[in-house]
Structure 1
Amino acid sequence: MSFSDFIVYVDESGDHGLRNINREYPVFVLAFCICAKDAYQQTVVPAVQQLKLDFWGHDAVVLHSHEIRKSRGDFAILFDADVRARFIERLNGVMETADFTLIAAVIDKQRLVDRYAMPNDPYEIALGFCMERLQMFLAERGQVDRTTHLLIECRGRAEDDKLELEFRRIRDGDNRVGRMENLSIRFVDKKHNSPGLQLADLVAHPIGRHVIAPEQPNRAYEIVERKFRRNAGGGIDGYGLKVFPRP
């Protein structure tokens, strides 16, 4: 099987445990950033690299949304309000111009345990939703006869092995669209400093925040929202964004 024209970067926000649910962030978010390989190579990677060179003088920094919000590690430079304002403006610009399609699933963990006596793992639920919609996206573009790689950051051997088993279960037919033998998973160490994985990290948290408090101003989500996969009428609900369980 030849390779498809797309590559998928996967990241999450929040933990997928159902014990001791964080009342401030009671959701688990899984985000798939689908990049056309030519656009990724020609525009996304250079834009991310240039941002790092301009603010740190090198490109070894790994963009991480939690560290950016907390001004930790390399992002201690953001304690300077002027630097922070300039950095956020540039980062928003990179996200706005980045050419990718977004598919995401948000699992409301509190609603899940309230509604189901024996709920499944939120990661497994979200992965199934996202893989199904990814396969539909690829089918629409005539790519299902080619291998599409999903890149996921390593989290630890036991967790990675568990996730790979779940991925294979869904891929091999335990889903609503049939077998997805064209999908392949690969775990990537953070030291590889993948711009695509950093892109996925940056989109996941704003999605969760929007679902928790849609009435609150959320500039990052406004940018992200434009990237979602949409139906013929332009809607994203259940198409590019799946929230489960529903209220």
Structure 2
Amino acid sequence: MDYSDFIIYVDESGDHDLTQVKSPYPIFSLAFCIFNKKRYVDEVVPRLQDLKFRWFGHDAIVLHEREIRKRERPFEVLYTKAANDAFMAELGKIVADAPMTVISAVIHKDNHKSRYAVPANPYELALRFCIERAVLFLKDLGQSDKLTHIIVECRGKNEDEGLELEFRRICDGQNFVGKIDCLDILFVDKKANSSGLQIADLIARPIGLKALRPNQTNRAYEVIETKFRRSQRGSIEGYGIKIFP
């Protein structure tokens, strides 16, 4: 099988544990960032590298939303409001300009657990929702007869093996689009410094926060919302984002 013109980077926000759902963030959010490979190489990677060189002096730094938000090392350079605002504005502009399509799934863990006697694992459920929509996206662009890689950050041996097993089950037919042979999954070390994974990391939490507190100001989400896959009428619900239940 030939390779497609697209690559998918994945990250999540929140945990998939259902034993304690009454937390300040009872949400699991999964984000698929889909890039045309040529535009990713030509446009996204250079801009992210340039940002790193100018702010940190090197490009070995890995952008993590949590560390940036808390200004943990090496992001202590953002300790003043002026520096933080300037950096976040630049980073937001990169995301806003990025030629990508976002597909996301958000699981309200408390509602999910209370509604079902045997609730499914939130990560596995969100993964299925996103895969189904990603396949339809590729099909619309005539790319479903080629192989597209899904890039996921390593989380641990057992977790990765469990996720890969669920991925294979989904692709074998446990989904609403049928058997899927145009996708493969690849686990990448956290130190890989992948631009795509870093952008996925930046958008997963704002999506989750929007679902959790829809009336709260969320500037990051306002940018991300323009990237969602949409229906022909412009709707994102069910097309670019699935909120469950």
Q: Judge conservation of contact 2:95–2:223 (CA < 8 Å) in 1.
A: yes
Could you tell me which runs of 5 or more consecutive residues in structure 1 were left unpaired when the two chains were aligned: none
Could you list the per-position Cα deviations for residues 40-93 of structure 1 after superposition, in whole angstroms to 9, with x for gaps in the alignment? 000000011011011001001101000111000111111122211110110111
What CA distance in whole angstroms lies between the structure 2 residues aligned with 1:77 and 1:216?
Answer: 28
- What is residue 123 of structure 2 aligned with on the other side? 123
How many residue pairs are counted as aligned between the two chains? 245
CA separation in 2, counterparts of 1:20 and 1:144? 39
Task: Please state how far the C-alpha of 1:33 moved relative to its aligned partner.
Answer: 0.2
Q: How far apart in 2 are the matches of 1:140 and 1:124?
A: 25
Percent identity for Structure 1 against Structure 2? 53
Give 1:36's aligned residue: 36
User: CA–CA distance in 2 between the matches of 1:215 and 1:174?
Assistant: 35
The answer as to 2:132 corresponding to 1:132 is: yes
Q: Aligned equivalents of 1:188 and 1:168: distance in 2? A: 18
Alignment correspondent of 1:64: 64
User: 1:190: which partner in 2?
Assistant: 190
Per mean C-alpha deviation after superposition, the further-off stretch among 126-135 and 17-26 is: 17-26
Q: Aligned equivalents of 2:24 and 2:51: distance in 1?
A: 31
Q: What secondary structure sits across from 2:184 in the alignment? A: strand
Task: Provide, for residues 166-201 of structure 1, a one-character-per-residue CA deviation record: whole Å limited to 9, x for no partner.
Answer: 000001111100111110000000111000000100
Q: How does 1:71-90 map to 2 (within 5 A)?
A: 71-90=71-90
Correspondences of 1:112-191 after superposition (within 5 Å): 112-191=112-191
Q: CA deviation at 1:22?
A: 4.6
In 1: Cα distance, 2:113 partner to 2:239 partner: 24
Give the corresponding residue for 2:212: 212
Distance 2:52 2:232 in 1: 37
Q: Match for 1:219: what amino acid?
A: R
For 2:129 and 2:52, how far apart are their aligned partners in 1? 34
- Corresponding position of 1:230: 230
- Counterpart Cα distance in 2 of 1:75 and 1:5: 34
Do the aligned residues in 1 keep the contact of 2:106 with 2:242 (CA within 8 Å)?
yes
Return the alpha-carbon distance in structure 2 between the equivalents of residues 57 and 183 of structure 1.
37
Q: Give TM-score, length-normalised by structure 2.
A: 0.99
RMSD: 0.7
The ranges of structure 1 where at least 4 consecutive aligned residues each deviate by more than 2 angstroms after the TM superposition are none
Distance in 1 (CA, whole Å) between partners of 2:68 and 2:56 is 14
Kindly state the Cα deviation for residue 23 of structure 1 after the two structures are TM-superposed. 2.7
**CA distance change for structure 1 residues 22 and 13 in 2, over 3 Å: closer, same or farther?**
farther
* Conserved 8 A contact 2:22-2:110: no
Q: Structure 2: where are the runs of 5+ without partners?
A: none
* Equivalent-residue separation in structure 2 for 1:168 and 1:113 (angstroms): 25
State the alpha-carbon separation in 1 of the partners of residues 202 and 109 from structure 2: 21
